C-alpha cells in the first residue's frame, strides 16, 4: 500500500526528465546550427560547434543570476529582477487557469480577461483622483471586476445555453483585443507620443518599488500571496471543496446535492477576476502607461503553467518562475551570442509535450509497480515469485 | 462428450497481471481447459476471473506468463487476433447495435454483398442456419432493441460461432437472465459442446456450476485455489474453496414494525428523449420500518424510477411525496434535505469521486455542516477523525483515510458509499443494486445494515437484480415490467425465484383487482393531493 507515494514521486521524476530531454534537444539544435560551414576539417567544425553551444548554454542557464567580470562570477541583480518581474503576470494567469481547470472547465479566456482588465485599469490609473496607497488598490480592483465581467459572458452562455466555454471564451479573447485597442485609441491615446500608447498614469497609481534602480515592484509579492491564498481557498474552504469535487466527478457532486451549475459559474467568474489583474500589475508596476499593440500572450502561458503544475497553485508558482527563468536566460543568451532567443519556444513545447503525454515513461512506472506488487505478494504468501 | 484423456485446447501458465494502480488481478495463475468441456471459472467478484479472460481474449496484456492454444504457444495481442485463432467472447454487457437487425449485428463487417449493397436475404439465411445448427433460433429480421435480453445473448453467441469460434468464453451469462432464460441457455450450451465446441463459463453461482459444468477452476484473490471435476464436489465444498470459509448466508430478521408512510410515488410516467415510454403510471409507497423490494429484468424502468425519486430526473407526469408532502422542486439537494439517502447502482459514475480521498468522499453530502466546517472553512482534523470512525465501523479496508478511492477494491469502494449514505441520518434509503459486483463478505454486511436500518424505523426501497437478495431482505416485493407494476407480494415467505421470474418476463401479470391492494390508496384516498 506504499505504492501511492512512489506513483507521485514518479510525476516529479517525469517532469525532471522531460526538462532534461528538452534542454538536451536545445543543446543539440544549437550545436548543429553553430558548426561553421567553412570549417577547415570536420573535427574543427565539431569542436567549434561544441564550443559555441557551451558558450550559449552558459548564458542561457546561468545568465539570469550570474554576470562575469573577467573570470569572476558576480550576482546579476538586473537579470534576477527581470526574472522576478517577468514571472508576475504568468504566475497570476497560471493561478487563474488552475482555478477553472480544478473544476474541469476548459475556459481559456484568461488572455481576453487580462487585456480588458488592463484597459479598464488604464482609465482609472489615468483619471482617478490621485490618492496615494488607495489609487493602485482601486486600479487593481477595477481590473479584477472587469476581468470577472468579461468571464461572465461565456459562463452565462454555458449555464443557460450549454454553449461550450472552450469556444466562447476563445472568441471573447479577440473581442477583448480589438475592443480594448479601440477604446485606448479613441478615448485615452497620448497624441504626443510616437506610437499608440495611452496617456501616462498618475504617479500615485504606480506600485511601490522594492528595488528602484532595476524597477523591482511589489507585483511579485502580490503574486506569491495570491498563490498561497488561492491554494488555501481551494484546499481548505467548503467552496474549494465543491470546486475540486466537481472537477473530479461532476455527476457525483450533483448526486451529493451540490449546486453544480452555480458553482461552475462562480468558478469561471472567480478565475476571470484573478486573470483580470495579470497585465495590470505589470503595467502599473514596471511601465507607466498602456502600451500593448498586441495580445501579450500571458493567458496562453497560464494554460501551459497550470497544466505543468497540475492545477496546484503552489506548483504554479514554481512552474511560472521556471518558465520566466528560461525565457530571461534565452534573452540574455540572445544578447551575448547570435542565437535567436526564440529557441526557448522549442524547449517549452518539448517540455509540455513530454509532461502531458500520459504514455511517456509509463512503461517504467508499470514495471516498478509490478516489482513492488510482487514483493508485497511474496511477503503475504511466503512464496517465491519471479 | 468430454474426454477424460484430457486433450487440452488451452493452457495458461503462470499468468500475472498487475494494473497500473498497483492492484494484482492475477498472480501465478495456471489453468488448463480440455477440448469439448464446459469449464467453469468460479470465484467471488474481484477474484480475477474477468481479467484472466480479458487476457485470453486479447483485451488486456499479461504482465508475464505463457498461453498455449492447441498446443502451440501464442501471443494474443488483440481481440482481433483472438477471434482469428477461434476464440470468441460474450461479454456481460452486450456489444450489439440496438438499431440494427439481428442478422446485421451477427454479420457486422462480413456482410454478404450483392453489388454494392448488402444481400439481406442471404444474410438472414446465413444467420438462421448458423443458429439452427446449434439449437439457437433467433428472429433474424428483428431489431436488437425489440428483442429480449435472453435473445440478445443468443445473438452474441451466434456472432462468435459465425466468426469460427471453437472456444467460447461467457462472462457471467446468467446475471442478466431470468430463471427460465437460464434453462434455455444451458440447453444451448450442451448442444454446443456436443458439436465439438469448448465453453468457458465465468460465474459465482454454485448451483449453476453443478448444473452445467464438467470441471471447475476456482480463483480467489487472483490466485488459483484449485481445479476439480464437478461431479466429485458438493456445493458446500465449492463454496469453501471460493470464499475460504463457510458462509453463513441466512440473515436473521425480526418481523417488521411498520410505521407511517414516508415515501409515496404517484402515477409516475416517464417518456425518454427517443419517445419510448419507460414508466407507465407506477405507484407505490414505502413506510417506516419496512423494506420494499423491486424486482425486474434490467431496463424495465428501474433506473429512471430511482433517478426520479432521488431528484436526478424530472418525471413526465406524476408526483413524489415525502412525509405526505408532494415535492415540488425535487433535486438531489432537496431530496437529501427531506431525509432521503441514495446508494446509486452506478457507483463509479455517481457513487464516488475516484481521484478524491476517502475523507472527501464520505463528507460530500454534509461538508457544509458542523463539525466538518465552520464559516465556510473546513476542519481537516475533525473530518479525518470522523472518517476514521467510519472506516472502523464499516470495516473499509484501507490504510489511510487520505488514500484516493481509486486505490480501493470494488467492495471497499461500495463500503465507502454505504458508509456515507447510512450515516446521513436519513429516514428513507433508496438502495439501488447495493451489492452488485462486490464480494460475498461485503454483500452480506450491506444486507445486514439494510435490515438494521429498517429495524431502526427507516423506510428502505431496495432495487435489485439479485432475486436471492430480494427474497432474503425484503418485507414486500413489487415486480416491474415494461414500466408497470405487474405484481405485488405482501408476503415474501414462500415466494420463489421462479414465480418472480414469470412476472419479470411478462408471462404472468396480476389482475387490476389483485393489484388494488396496494395501489387503491393512490387512486382514491389521496385524491385531495392531486392537482
CA distance B404 to chain A (A): 9
Number of residue pairs across A and B with CB atoms under 8 Å?
Answer: 103
Q: CATH 1.10.3470 spans which residues of chain A? A: 77-323
pLDDT at A223 over 50: yes
Task: With cut-offs at 50, 70 and 90, classify the pLDDT of residue B35.
Answer: very high
Task: With cut-offs at 50, 70 and 90, classify the pLDDT of residue B509.
Answer: confident
Collect all residues from B whose CB is shorter than 8 A from any CB in A: 16, 18, 20-24, 27-28, 63-64, 223, 310, 312, 332-333, 335-337, 342, 344, 349-356, 360, 364-365, 367-368, 373, 376-378, 380, 399, 403-404, 407
Share of chain B above pLDDT 70, in %: 94
Chain B residues in contact with A249 (beta carbon < 8 A): 349-350, 352-356
Interchain pair B364, A236: CB under 8 A:
no
pLDDT of residue B245: 59
Give the Cα separation of A273 and A117 in Å (integer).
9
- What are the helix (H) ranges across B76-137? 79-85, 102-106, 120-133
Task: With cut-offs at 50, 70 and 90, classify the pLDDT of residue A5.
Answer: very low
| Matching residue, cell 445473448 | B153
The SS3 of residue B50 is helix
Give the Cα separation of A339 and A53 in Å (integer).
10
Task: Share the mean pLDDT of chain B.
Answer: 87
| Other CB atoms within 10 Å distance of the CB of residue A346 | 13
pLDDT at B257 over 80: yes
Q: Of A235-249, B242-256, B266-280, give the lowest mean pLDDT range.
A: B242-256
pLDDT at A34 over 90: no
Work out the average pLDDT over B249-267.
Answer: 86
Buried b (16+ CB within 10 A) or exposed e, B221-256: bbbbbeebebeebeeeebbbbbbeeeeeeeeebeeb
pLDDT at B496 over 50: yes
Chain A residues in contact with B64 (beta carbon < 8 A): 386
pLDDT at A372 over 90: no
**Contacts of range B320-324, beta carbons closer than 8 Å, 24 or more positions apart:** B320/B263, B320/B264, B320/B265, B320/B266, B320/B268, B321/B263, B321/B264, B321/B266, B321/B529, B322/B262, B322/B263, B322/B428, B323/B262, B323/B427, B324/B261, B324/B264, B324/B529
Task: With cut-offs at 50, 70 and 90, classify the pLDDT of residue A290.
Answer: very high
Nearest to B367 among A241, A252, A373 (CB): A241
| Other CB atoms within 10 Å distance of the CB of residue A38 | 6
Q: What is the CA radius of gyration of chain B?
A: 25
* Short-list B315, B293, B253, B230, CA closest to B434: B293
Interchain pair A241, B332: CB under 8 A:
no
Q: Chain B within 8 Å of A167 (Cβ-Cβ)?
A: no
CA distance B30 to chain A (A): 14
From A258, which residue of chain B is nearest by alpha-carbon distance? Answer: B333
pLDDT at A292 over 50: yes
Interchain pair B20, A256: CB under 8 A:
no
Q: Chain B within 8 Å of A379 (Cβ-Cβ)?
A: no
B80-132, pLDDT tens digit by residue? 999 999 999 998 778 889 889 999 999 988 888 888 888 888 999 999 998 88
CATH topology of domain B8-243: Rossmann fold (3.40.50)
- Cβ B149 vs Cβ B177: under 8 Å: yes
Interchain pair B352, A249: CB under 8 A:
yes
Q: B360 vs A252, B218, B351, B499, CA distance in Å?
A: 12, 37, 12, 44
CA dihedral B93, B99, B104, B108 (to 10 degrees): -60
Q: Chain B within 8 Å of A238 (Cβ-Cβ)?
A: yes
Instruction: Note if the bond before B371 is cis, omega within 30 degrees.
Output: yes
A51-99, pLDDT tens digit by residue? 888 988 889 899 899 988 888 888 999 999 999 999 999 999 999 999 9
Interchain pair A239, B22: CB under 8 A:
no
Chain A residues in contact with B352 (beta carbon < 8 A): 249, 252
Q: For the domain bounded by A77-323, which CATH number is listed?
A: 1.10.3470
Work out the average pLDDT over A236-253.
Answer: 96
Most confident region among B36-50, B145-159, B182-196, B377-391 by mean pLDDT: B377-391
Burial bucket for residue B413 (CB in 10 Å: 0-12, 13-18, 19+): buried
pLDDT of residue B2: 45
Interchain pair B312, A254: CB under 8 A:
yes
pLDDT at B508 over 50: yes
Task: With cut-offs at 50, 70 and 90, classify the pLDDT of residue B517.
Answer: low
Interchain pair A237, B337: CB under 8 A:
no
Sequence spans of domains, chain B: 8-243, 248-339+426-531, 350-425
Interchain pair B332, A256: CB under 8 A:
yes
Q: Whole-structure pTM over 0.90, yes or no?
A: no
pLDDT of residue B343: 95
- Cβ B261 vs Cβ B287: under 8 Å: yes
pLDDT of residue B530: 38
Characterize the bridge pairing of strands B291-295 and B459-463: parallel
* Short-list B338, B208, B359, B356, CA closest to B263: B338
- Cβ B481 vs Cβ B509: under 8 Å: yes
Give the Cα separation of B406 and B362 in Å (integer).
14
- Cβ B257 vs Cβ B491: under 8 Å: no
- Cβ A169 vs Cβ A154: under 8 Å: yes
- Cβ B103 vs Cβ B127: under 8 Å: yes
* Short-list B385, B384, B383, B448, CA closest to B415: B448
Q: Chain B within 8 Å of A248 (Cβ-Cβ)?
A: yes
Q: Quick check: do B8-243 and B248-339+426-531 share a fold?
A: yes
Mutation for A interface: B329, B332, B342, most A CBs within 10 A: B332
B302-350, pLDDT tens digit by residue? 999 999 999 999 999 999 999 988 988 899 999 999 999 999 988 888 9
A245-284, pLDDT tens digit by residue? 999 999 999 999 999 999 999 999 999 999 999 999 999 9
Q: How many residues does chain B have?
A: 531
- The C-alpha cell at B114 is 450483392
Interchain pair A257, B342: CB under 8 A:
no
Task: Share the mean pLDDT of chain A.
Answer: 88
Q: For the domain bounded by B248-339+426-531, which CATH number is listed?
A: 3.40.50.300
Q: Chain B within 8 Å of A229 (Cβ-Cβ)?
A: no
Write the secondary structure of A1-54 as one string of H (helix), E (strand) and C (coil): CCHHHHHHHHHHHHHHHHHHHHHHHHHHHHHHHCCCCCCCCHHHHHHHHHHHHH
DSSP assignment letter at B399: S
pLDDT of residue B246: 52
| Matching residue, cell 471447475 | B216
Amino acid at each position: 500500500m506504499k505504492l501511492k507515494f512512489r506513483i507521485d514521486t514518479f510525476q516529479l521524476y517525469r517532469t525532471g526528465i522531460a526538462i532534461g530531454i528538452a534542454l538536451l534537444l536545445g543543446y543539440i539544435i544549437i550545436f548543429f546550427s553553430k558548426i561553421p560551414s567553412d570549417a577547415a576539417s570536420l573535427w574543427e567544425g565539431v569542436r567549434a560547434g561544441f564550443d559555441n553551444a557551451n558558450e550559449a548554454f552558459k548564458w542561457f542557464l546561468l545568465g539570469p543570476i550570474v554576470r562575469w567580470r573577467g573570470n569572476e562570477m558576480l550576482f546579476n541583480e538586473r537579470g534576477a529582477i527581470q526574472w522576478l518581474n517577468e514571472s508576475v503576470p504568468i504566475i497570476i494567469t497560471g493561478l487563474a487557469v488552475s482555478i477553472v481547470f480544478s473544476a474541469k472547465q476548459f475556459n481559456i479566456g484568461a488572455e481576453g480577461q487580462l487585456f480588458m482588465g488592463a484597459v479598464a485599469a488604464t482609465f482609472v490609473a489615468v483619471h482617478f483622483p490621485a490618492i496615494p496607497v488607495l489609487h493602485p488598490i482601486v486600479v487593481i480592483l477595477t481590473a479584477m471586476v472587469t476581468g470577472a465581467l468579461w468571464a461572465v459572458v461565456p459562463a452565462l452562455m454555458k449555464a443557460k445555453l450549454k454553449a461550450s466555454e472552450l469556444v466562447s471564451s476563445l472568441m471573447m479573447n479577440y473581442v477583448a483585443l480589438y475592443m480594448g485597442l479601440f477604446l485606448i485609441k479613441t478615448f485615452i491615446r497620448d497624441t504626443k507620443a510616437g506610437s499608440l500608447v495611452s496617456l501616462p498614469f498618475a504617479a500615485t497609481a504606480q506600485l511601490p518599488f522594492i528595488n528602484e534602480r532595476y524597477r523591482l515592484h511589489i507585483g511579485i509579492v502580490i503574486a506569491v500571496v495570491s498563490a498561497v491564498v488561492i491554494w488555501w481557498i481551494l484546499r481548505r474552504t467548503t467552496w474549494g471543496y465543491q470546486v475540486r469535487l466537481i472537477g473530479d466527478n461532476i455527476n457525483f457532486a450533483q448526486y451529493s446535492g451540490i449546486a453544480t451549475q452555480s458553482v461552475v459559474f462562480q468558478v469561471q467568474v472567480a478565475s476571470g477576476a484573478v486573470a483580470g489583474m495579470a497585465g495590470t500589475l505589470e503595467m502599473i508596476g514596471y511601465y507607466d502607461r498602456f502600451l500593448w499593440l498586441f495580445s501579450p500572450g500571458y493567458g496562453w502561458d497560464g494554460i501551459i503553467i497550470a497544466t505543468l503544475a497540475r492545477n496546484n497553485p503552489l506548483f504554479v508558482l514554481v512552474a511560472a518562475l521556471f518558465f520566466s527563468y528560461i525565457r530571461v536566460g534565452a534573452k540574455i543568451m540572445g544578447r551575448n551570442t547570435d542565437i535567436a532567443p526564440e529557441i526557448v519556444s522549442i524547449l517549452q513545447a518539448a517540455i509540455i509535450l513530454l509532461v502531458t503525454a500520459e504514455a511517456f515513461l509509463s512503461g517504467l512506472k508499470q514495471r516498478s509497480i509490478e516489482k513492488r506488487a510482487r514483493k508485497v505478494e511474496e511477503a503475504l504468501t511466503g512464496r517465491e515469485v519471479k | 462428450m468430454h474426454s477424460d484423456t484430457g486433450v487440452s485446447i488451452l493452457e495458461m501458465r503462470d499468468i500475472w497481471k498487475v494494473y497500473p494502480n498497483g492492484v494484482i488481478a492475477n498472480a501465478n495463475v495456471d489453468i488448463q481447459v480440455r477440448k469439448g468441456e464446459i469449464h467453469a471459472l468460479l470465484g467471488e467478484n474481484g477474484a480475477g476471473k474477468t481479467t484472466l479472460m480479458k487476457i485470453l481474449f486479447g483485451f488486456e496484456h499479461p504482465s508475464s506468463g505463457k498461453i498455449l492454444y492447441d498446443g502451440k504457444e501464442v501471443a494474443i495481442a488483440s481481440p482481433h487476433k483472438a477471434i482469428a485463432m477461434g476464440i470468441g467472447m460474450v461479454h456481460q454487457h452486450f456489444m450489439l447495435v440496438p438499431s440494427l437487425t439481428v442478422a446485421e449485428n451477427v454479420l457486422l463487417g462480413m456482410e454478404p454483398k450483392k453489388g454494392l449493397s448488402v444481400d439481406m436475404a442471404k444474410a438472414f439465411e446465413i444467420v438462421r442456419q448458423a443458429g439452427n445448427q446449434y439449437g439457437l433460433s433467433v428472429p433474424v429480421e428483428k431489431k436488437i432493441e425489440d428483442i429480449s435480453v435472453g435473445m440478445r445473448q443468443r445473438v452474441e453467441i451466434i456472432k462468435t460461432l459465425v466468426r469460427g469460434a471453437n472456444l467460447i468464453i461467457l462472462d457471467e451469462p446468467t446475471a442478466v437472465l431470468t430463471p427460465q432464460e437460464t434453462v434455455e441457455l444451458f440447453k444451448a450450451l450442451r448442444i454446443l459442446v456436443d458439436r465439438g465446441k469448448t465453453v468457458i463459463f465465468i460465474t459465482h453461482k454454485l448451483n449453476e456450476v453443478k448444473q452445467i459444468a464438467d470441471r471447475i477452476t476456482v480463483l480467489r484473490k487472483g490466485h488459483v485455489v484449485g481445479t476439480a471435476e464437478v461431479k466429485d464436489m458438493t456445493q458446500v465444498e465449492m463454496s469453501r474453496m471460493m470464499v475460504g470459509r463457510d458462509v453463513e448466508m441466512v440473515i436473521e430478521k425480526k418481523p417488521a414494525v411498520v410505521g407511517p408512510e414516508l415515501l409515496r410515488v404517484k402515477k409516475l410516467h416517464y417518456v425518454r428523449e427517443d419517445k419510448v415510454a419507460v414508466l407507465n403510471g407506477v405507484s407505490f409507497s414505502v413506510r417506516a420500518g419496512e423494506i420494499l423490494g423491486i424486482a425486474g429484468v434490467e431496463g424495465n424502468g428501474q433506473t429512471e424510477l430511482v433517478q426520479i425519486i432521488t431528484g436526478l430526473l424530472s418525471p413526465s407526469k406524476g408526483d413524489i411525496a415525502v412525509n405526505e408532502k408532494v415535492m415540488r422542486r425535487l433535486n438531489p439537494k432537496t431530496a437529501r434535505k427531506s431525509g432521503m439517502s441514495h446508494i446509486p447502482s452506478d457507483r463509479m459514475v455517481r457513487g464516488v469521486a475516484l481521484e478524491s480521498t476517502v475523507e472527501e468522499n464520505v463528507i460530500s453530502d454534509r461538508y457544509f455542516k458542523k463539525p466538518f466546517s465552520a464559516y465556510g472553512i473546513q476542519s481537516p482534523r475533525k473530518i479525518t477523525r470522523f472518517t476514521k470512525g467510519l472506516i472502523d465501523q464499516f470495516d473499509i479496508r484501507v490504510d489511510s483515510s487520505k488514500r484516493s478511492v481509486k486505490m480501493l477494491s470494488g467492495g471497499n469502494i461500495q463500503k465507502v458509499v454505504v458508509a456515507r449514505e447510512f450515516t446521513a441520518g436519513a429516514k428513507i434509503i433508496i438502495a439501488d443494486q447495493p451489492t452488485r459486483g462486490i464480494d460475498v463478505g461485503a454483500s452480506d454486511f450491506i444486507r445486514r445494515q439494510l435490515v438494521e436500518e429498517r429495524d431502526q424505523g427507516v423506510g428502505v426501497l431496495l432495487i435489485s437484480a439479485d432475486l436471492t437478495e430480494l427474497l432474503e431482505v425484503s418485507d414486500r416485493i413489487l415486480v416491474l415490467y415494461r414500466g408497470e407494476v405487474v405484481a405485488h407480494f405482501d408476503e415474501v415467505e414462500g415466494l420463489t425465484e421462479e414465480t418472480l421470474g414469470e412476472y419479470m418476463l411478462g408471462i404472468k401479470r396480476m389482475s387490476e383487482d389483485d393489484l388494488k391492494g396496494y395501489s387503491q390508496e393512490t387512486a382514491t384516498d389521496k385524491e385531495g393531493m392531486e392537482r
